Amino acid sequence: MTNIQVENLRKEFSGESGTITAVDDVSFTVEDGEFVCIVGPSGCGKTTLLRCIAGLETPTSGSIQLGGEEVANVPPQHRNLAFVFQDITLYPHMKVWQNISYPLKLSGHSKDERYEQAREVAETIQIGELLDKYPGDLSGGQQQRVAIGRSIIRSPRAYLLDEPMSDLDAKLKKEMRVELQQIQREVGGTMTYVTHDQEEAMTLSDRMLVMDDGEIQQYGSPHTVYHEPNNAFVAQFIGSPEINLLSATCPNGDARTVKVDESGWRIGTGIDEEVPEEVMVGFRPRHTTVHRDGSGELEGEISLVESVGDEGIVYVDSDVGELRSVVEIEDNPVREGETVGIDVERTYLFDREDG
Ligand code: ADP
Ligand code: MG
């Protein structure tokens, strides 16, 4: 396996309606054996970035190195990278083992060799019993595994996966995530995995690269990205339920108390550093407490309770707008229409200009 080093990568598309910068001065490294998710909303440039690494797009400028070797002039088939894309393209008239070993056929291996290697790969990803079936007989998840099997049979230098699970249902997705991690451990692969699903990125990544509008917003471990978001975009995109974000002002850049613009509510932040005057104040639903006796910094009426297992997401119509909070569902859960107080335990401040 190998590392991937991307430096100042830029990709523009020019058309009749002008020029789009799909990837805008992106630099990062995926270490050997690391699992990196590229995550961001639709259209932010994830696929274009991956296709540049694969050699399927020619960058406008910048450099891509695989294991220290510049690959600008190396055609895709000689980069020795494995791709799995969203659309699974198995050959319907070929059995599973033939599908898995197809890349070996192209490189002239004998039928016995191909069967044997397909069997080994299938064992690794636990579809050994499917070798003689046809794709049409398989479930979506099984087909996905065959596609992964086909991508790993040539022992590539690294894997590039573009939303490979977006067509699967939620339960299967969870199973596949666990399996994908197992496969990665088994083959020790360098993985670059594109998804628009922040939860998927949070569970799979060693590090996640959060993109918006062609640019890297943050690159770090799921823990860092969640707990120390670089800007309001990252804070809002990562974490569920979504962070509460309010436009606020810090008079003279003093962050200890900020004034929420809409209501004039003053919130203590405990942040003792100079900040810009115009900020966004954020607090995660999990970092709030709902008080049924109405006490707390903020007051409001519950407009909606969504139960998710042992937890409830509570939407509160408060003096500062709609807020989200997370509560434990007990014997006597909070109800819609109830008046409650809310305390905020941990706040973030973001520059309003930034992200
Ligand atoms: P993502 O995978 O994050 O959804 P893409 O990389 O597919 O985003 O697209 C990023 C931007 O580049 C979008 O604005 C998209 O419309 C544009 N784009 C992607 N591919 C092409 C192309 N071949 N020609 C013109 N524009 C493109
Ligand atoms: Mg895409």
d(CA 51, CA 160): 9
Is 8 found in the same domain as 78? yes
Is 48 found in the same domain as 191? yes
Q: Which residues of 145-169 are buried (b: 16+ CB within 10 A; e: fewer)?
A: bbbbbbbbbbebbbbbbbbbbeebe
Segment 247-268 shows an average pLDDT of 85
Count the alpha carbons within 13 Å of 135 in the hemisphere toward its beta carbon: 17
- Confidence (pLDDT) at 154: 81
* Interval 149-204: pLDDT, tens: 898 888 888 999 998 877 777 877 887 788 788 878 877 789 999 999 999 999 99
Q: Where residue 269 sits, what CATH number does that domain have?
A: 2.40.50.140
Task: Name which residue sits closest to atom 7 of ligand 1, judged by CA.
Answer: 47
Dihedral over alpha carbons 225, 231, 237, 242 (to 10 degrees) = 100
Token pair for residue 64?
């891509």
Q: Structurally, how many domains does the chain consist of?
A: 2
Name the more confident of 251 and 335: 335
Tell which of 233, 268, 298 closes a domain: 233
Distances (CA, A) of 243 to 38, 250, 261, 303, 322: 21, 20, 18, 17, 11
Token pair for residue 349?
């401040």
* Interval 17-37: pLDDT, tens: 999 999 999 999 999 999 999
Asked if residue 355 has its Cβ within 6 Å of ligand 1, the reply is no
What is the ipTM for the molecules in this complex?
0.99
Is 315 found in the same domain as 182? no
Segment 308-331 shows an average pLDDT of 90
Pocket probe mutation, ligand 1, options 20, 24, 83, max atoms within 8 Å of Cβ = 20
- Confidence (pLDDT) at 94: 96
Range name among 6-10, 38-42, 137-141, 288-292 with the lowest pLDDT average: 137-141
Q: Which residues of 69-81 are buried (b: 16+ CB within 10 A; e: fewer)?
A: eebeeeeeeebeb
- Confidence (pLDDT) at 355: 56
Segment 77-96 shows an average pLDDT of 87
- Closest ligand 1 atom number to CA of residue 211: 3
Burial, 61: exposed, middle or buried (Cβ in 10 Å; 0-12, 13-18, 19+)? exposed
Segment 285-294 shows an average pLDDT of 93
Tell which of 208, 233, 258 closes a domain: 233
Segment 240-256 shows an average pLDDT of 90
d(CA 60, CA 293): 60
Is 103 found in the same domain as 70? yes
Asked if residue 222 has its Cβ within 6 Å of ligand 1, the reply is no
Is 184 found in the same domain as 121? yes
Residue 258 has pLDDT above 60, yes or no: yes
Place of tokens 């049409």: 136
Q: Domain of 263?
A: 241-351
Residue 88 has pLDDT above 80, yes or no: no
* Interval 1-19: pLDDT, tens: 699 999 999 999 999 999 9
pLDDT interval class at 273 (50, 70, 90):
confident
Is 211 found in the same domain as 105? yes
Q: How many residues does the chain have?
A: 355
Q: Where residue 30 sits, what CATH number does that domain have?
A: 3.40.50.300
- Confidence (pLDDT) at 308: 84
- Confidence (pLDDT) at 172: 76
Tell which of 233, 266, 290 closes a domain: 233
Is 87 found in the same domain as 218? yes
- Closest ligand 1 atom number to CA of residue 40: 3
Task: Name which residue sits closest to atom 27 of ligand 1, judged by CA.
Answer: 13
Are the C-beta atoms of 99 and 146 separated by less than 8 Å?
yes
Is 118 found in the same domain as 257? no
d(CA 275, CA 107): 60
Q: Is the dihedral of CA 300, 242, 227, 264 positive or negative?
A: negative
Are the C-beta atoms of 184 and 192 separated by less than 8 Å?
no
Residue 353 has pLDDT above 90, yes or no: no
Count the alpha carbons within 13 Å of 240 in the hemisphere toward its beta carbon: 10
- Closest ligand 1 atom number to CA of residue 194: 2
- Confidence (pLDDT) at 297: 86
Asked if residue 44 has its Cβ within 6 Å of ligand 1, the reply is yes
Is 265 found in the same domain as 150? no
Count the alpha carbons within 13 Å of 302 in the hemisphere toward its beta carbon: 23
Residue 42 alpha carbon to ligand 2 centre in Å: 7
- Confidence (pLDDT) at 66: 96
Q: What single letter denotes the amino acid at residue 100?
A: I
The rounded mean pLDDT for the chain is 91
Sequence-distant (≥ 6) Cβ neighbours of residue 158 within 8 angstroms:
1, 2, 4, 30, 66, 81, 82, 189, 190, 191, 192
Is 101 found in the same domain as 153? yes
Asked if residue 43 has its Cβ within 6 Å of ligand 1, the reply is yes
- Confidence (pLDDT) at 7: 98
3-state secondary structure string across 107-158: CCCCHHHHHHHHHHHHHHCCCHHHCCCCHHHCCHHHHHHHHHHHHHCCCCCE
Segment 51-76 shows an average pLDDT of 95
Residue 113 has pLDDT above 80, yes or no: yes
Residue 111 has pLDDT above 90, yes or no: yes
Q: What are phi and psi of 199, to 5 degrees?
A: -65, -40
Is 160 found in the same domain as 260? no
Is 263 found in the same domain as 224? no
pLDDT interval class at 228 (50, 70, 90):
very high
